[in-house]
Structure formats: structure tokens, C-alpha cells
Chains A and B, each alone.
Chain A
Amino acid sequence: MSEHITHTAVTDDALRLALHSPDICQVFHGALQRNADICRYSAMTRSGDQFTVKLLRALRDQWRNGRLDSLAEKKLAFLLGWRCHLAADRTFKPVYRILDPRHYLKGDDEKGEASDVSIYHDVVVFREVYDGGRAEPFTPSALDFRLESHPASRAMPARALQRLLLPFWQTELLRIHSRRVPARFQPHRITVLRYSAAYHTPDPDKMRRFIIEPNFYNPQDPLIALARSLQRAKPRRDITLPDAVAAAPKQSQYAQALERAYRYVMAASDYFTGKIDEQELELRCDVGKPHVPAEFDPRRKKS
């Protein structure tokens, strides 16, 4: 499992780069400018390979026959966030299995608890990309133990609300399904207290093994540096996007994920404007390619 904050950040950064790029079509620019919040949550949607190409085809056909209305633009933004989810998964799922294989003995769709690798990734991203929660869409109290630093927590029943908001979302997410079967019930997968502990009292050995030694995040990588400068609305003129994209596959893991996400968005844009066909789109988006190479997947390794 790669995690919420990292998925959100890879998507946020890839879409910043897309908005900065003259190579991404204008219809994408418009959809992303108006719907950044949608991309941020669609970036946590699974099963993207199964659905996104078909849905993108429908939107492209609609666009060719006229213009995209507000709902169609929102759906386009949703799909781009969804594709970026896959870029993070394809980068980080093998990393988790290399660094902490005991969590993944049952294969790709593990049911057990998330590895600390993924949680340490998330808290580092929270600090580096979201400035400890001072940048949208997070808040500085997001990883508190009990929301104690939130300015409204003293006046609100924060403890009870922590207990109630999970079933609130579980109920509402189940309600929007056409079949309300147990497989559609959103389980509680990770306790946020593990995030609080990793963020406020990080284990130095886990930091060394999961973050520093594998080169998880390097703010000096040009693609990351460009994304940070765009986030602060001060674009670095000394970094060209094509050069930064070309260098990223040999740089930090986060830069690799970002390059992959940007590449997926570029492929979607090229498909939308007719530069490439659907087969080429699937190829460039790695559709159908396993997230985890066989050597790190115990089920496929056995066979």
C-alpha cells in the first residue's frame, strides 16, 4: 500500500508541472485549474487501469463533439488524479517490498497492516511538500495525536468527532454504490496515531533505513525543485521541464514517481488531442503492467 499523503503530493506536483507545461493541452489546463481539489481526492482511488482509459475515451469523444461542461471537466480532473495514483503505486509498491518484505508475504493485495515504510514516506512528504501542513490541502494539526493544536479543538468535541467521522464517511461512501455489498465497505486500514508518532517522534533507525539510505526525497532534484517553486508561485527559470523530467528516473524515489505521473498526464493529453491512439496511450501509461515486479511478489515468484 502506498499512502494517502504521498499519493496526494505526487498528484499535486504532477499537475503543477502539467499546468506549467506548454505541451499539455489547454482543455487539461482549464480542468486542472478549476478542479485541483478533485484531483487530490481522486488520487486515492484504486483499480485505475481497469477504468481510466475507457472513461477518458468517452470524455475525449464528448469534447470532440462540442465542449466539456462543468461536470465533464470535473470528471476529467478526477481521471487525471486517478492516473497519478497509479504512478505512485508503480514507484513505491516495489520499494515497500524491498525495504520491509515481512508485510507483503501474501503478495500484492496484502490485507495486513501498512508497513512503516509507507507511513514514513507520508510523514516526510507532509513535512517537505506540505510544509508541515501549512500548504493546501492539509493543516498543521492534521497529524496531531488528538487535533490538540487545531484552533477550534478547544471549543469542539474533537475526541468524539474523531470517533464519528470515520463511520460518517464509511456510510456515505457505501451509499453511493450501486451494490452495497461487503466488498464495497471501506474498512479502517490504518490508525492515524501511527502517523502522529512517526511525525512527532520519528525513529532515527527507520528514518535512516526507509528515507535516507534509499534516497526517498531530495529537494535538490530539479523536478522536485521546480514543483516546489511552482507551488510557491515563484517558478525557477533556471530549470527547464524537459531536462528535469529526463534526469528524474535516476534521482530520488519521489522524483521518479513524479516523472512517471507527469508522463501519464502527458500521454493522456496527447491521446485527447489525437497525437496518439489508444494503444499508444496504454503503452505509455503502463496499463496492465503489474505494480510489483515478479521477484517481489511471493505469489508470482512461486509460480
Chain B
Amino acid sequence: MIGRRDFLQASALWLSAPSASVSAPPGDLSGRLARLIFLDDVASLAACSPQAPSETARAIATRREFFLAGALLQSSPPDDDAAAIAIRAGRAAVEAYQPLEASTAEARIRQDVRLLRELAAREGAALDRPPSHQQVADLFETLGRRVLIAIHTYIPDSDDVEGWMERLIGLHEAAHAYWQRLAEAYLAATPRRDEWFDASEPIVRAAAALHLGPLDSAAIARAISAPPRSAYARALADAHRRLLGL
């Protein structure tokens, strides 16, 4: 279970403001998937929200990769207003997530797994005949290999190519370690409703449903305005509120 202290001891692990500093090799990736799952839920809500400005909703829907992965960008792609909005919206959503993020790697892995198990429940995945730890880790590796196909080639850092090479090697090592830890924790977890996450809350249910199909506007509005109880639902509502003011 994610304790109150974990999520109250929020740390600034995420660079919400773009930084020009050269990165150190990434040593620990714990919490990255949980944050992305949150952003993905925000995107599904915001893209269909009757309250979100249509320009913002459209930008999040059409330039989703900039919303989900562009928060660290120091500038927007030229002549692409939708991407610029999606990047700003992504930063706002990341800020809303910060209070949720646990301060220790161990607790962040628990958050990753809590939300992964929620996604599994949404898809009807079954753990009655659980796969091995290695098979779960391999699924992440296989998906990573498909990503390499999708992005085609690495873009090197021409300002610091040797440092970039070292950081890329470090990133791959960190990713292997992350998948192993996630696999182990995923199979060991016994998720239950708690103060950090409650899948039965209206705003969480609406976000989950909107990944799969439409909901009527009134139902979305009711879900967004329902008083949130868990930290996750509060952050979703906060992110949505921030997007209204962009």
C-alpha cells in the first residue's frame, strides 16, 4: 500500500521546468510509468472534456506525443501551434502529478505497479495462471524493441556526443533494471483501494472509459466535478483544472 507519508513527501524528481543542464546518466527510472499512466488518463479526460477549451482538447488529442513526452522541451516545434499547446498542457499535468510522486524508489515502484495492475484490470487481463518474472520483464523488452522500430534511428547529441553516448548506455542499463524490478513487483502485488488510488471514483472511471470509447458530455462533466477522495483522483481533477486556464 502507498502510505500517506510517501505521497506527502513529494519531491521534485521531475524537471517540471525545462532545464538546459546536462543530464547525468539515468540511474533509477522508478515511477516513470506511473507518471505516464497518469498523463495518459489526463489526456483521455481532457480530449473529451466539455469544459476544456476546444483548442487545448484538440491539441492534446492530435499532438498526444508532445503532451505525454514533450514536457522537458525547451521550445516548441516551429509553426506548430497545436504542439506548443500540447507541451504546455503536458507541463501543467506533470505539475499536478508532483504531489503524488513518492520520495523513495521503492515506493515509486509500488505506485508503478499499482497503476499497471489497474490498467490490467481495465483490459480484463488475468493473473490466474501467472507468467514467470522473466516473461513479464521480457514483455517490456519486446515492447521496447518495437519502439526502436517505431522511432527508426537515435538522434545523437551533437553538442556533447561522447557524454550522450555514455548517457544512452546508462539509460539502457537503467531500463533493463527497471523492467526487472517492475516484473518482480507486478507479480507480487496485491492491489487494493487506498487513499492513494481508488478505481471506483467517478473521475478515474471516466478516464478509463474514455480510452475505449465515448461517454456523453454530461457524464464526463459529472465525473470531473465529483469530489475526489484519493490522491490520484485529486491530481486528475487538479490537472484538468490547470488545463482550463492555459
Contacts and interface: CB of A to CB of B under 8 A. Distances in A.
A71 B166 contact: yes
B224 to A, nearest CB: 22
Contacts of B140: 161, 165
A176 B164 contact: yes
Interface size class of B (residues with CB under 8 A): 35 or more
Contacts of A74: 169
A233 interface: no
Contacts of B125: 154-158
B219 to A, nearest CB: 22
Interface of B: 18-20, 22-23, 25-26, 29, 32-33, 36-37, 39-40, 65-66, 68-78, 83, 116, 119-120, 122-123, 125-127, 129-132, 135-136, 138-172, 175, 186, 211
A177 B72 CA distance: 10
Contact of A172 (B71, B126, B145, B171): B171
Instruction: State the main secondary structure of chain B at its contact with A.
Output: helix
A158 B124 CA distance: 11
Contact of B149 (A139, A159, A195): A195
Interface string A15-55: 00000000000000000000001100110111100110001
23 contacts: A3-B149, A42-B165, A45-B153, A50-B158, A75-B165, A78-B168, A137-B145, A139-B145, A152-B138, A156-B116, A156-B120, A162-B143, A164-B33, A166-B69, A167-B69, A170-B70, A172-B175, A173-B154, A173-B171, A177-B23, A178-B163, A182-B77, A185-B69
Contact of A155 (B37, B70, B130, B144): B130
A157 B122 contact: yes
B26 A182 contact: no
Given A142-B145, A176-B167, A189 B70 contact: no
Nearest to B183: A152
A176 B40 contact: no
A178 B123 contact: no
A284 interface: no
Contacts of B32: 168, 171-172
Instruction: State the main secondary structure of chain A at its contact with B.
Output: helix
Interface residues of A, number: 73
A173 B25 CA distance: 11
A147 B156 contact: no
A181 B130 CA distance: 43
Given A165-B143, A181-B75, A44 B159 contact: no
Nearest to A191: B150
A282 B186 CA distance: 50
B138 A161 contact: no
A58 B165 CA distance: 14
A176 B126 CA distance: 36
B130 A166 contact: no
Interface in A71-90: 71, 74-75, 78, 85
B152 A44 contact: yes
A50 B127 CA distance: 50
